[in-house]
Amino acid sequence: MSVFGQWQFWAAGYDKGSTVSRVSNLRQVAKSLGRNPKELDDQPQLREELLYLWEIFVSLKNASSGAISYNEINSYMAIYGNLSTFEVDVIRSLDTLHAQEVNKNG
C-alpha cells in the first residue's frame, strides 16, 4: 500500500516551475508518443481488497486542513462505523507518507 501511496503522491505533485501535475504531464506525453512513458507503465497497482482504505484516506484527507488526526478518524467512525487498529494504522501511515512527499517537493 505504501508503494502505491508514494507513487500517487508523487504523481499528483508538480515539478519545480510547472503548473501541471506530473500525472497530467505523463498522460500528455503518452498522448503525444502514442504509448505510455515508463513512469505510467510502472505505476503500482493497488490490490482490490485494499481499495476501500485508499478511499477512506482520500476522504479524510480532503476533509482535513492538515494531518489527519485521531479525532477526525473517530468522527469518521461515528458516521460510517468502526475501523480496526490495522485500518487506522494504514490511514495514519498514508498520511505520514503524504506529508513526507509534500515536504520533499514543497
Q: Measured between alpha carbons, how far is 53 from 5 in angstroms, rounded to an integer?
A: 11
The mean pLDDT value of the chain amounts to 94
The more confident residue out of 103 and 35 is 35
Tens of pLDDT, residue by residue over 38-78, are 999 999 999 999 999 999 999 999 999 999 999 999 999 99
- List the domain range (segments joined by +) for residue 54: 2-105
DSSP per-residue letters across 37-105: -HHHHT-----GGGHHHHHHHHHHHHH-SSSPPHHHHHHHHHHH----HHHHHHHHHHHHHHHHHHHHH
Q: Count structural domains, the chain.
A: 1
Amino acid 67: pLDDT: 96
The pTM of this model reads: 0.86
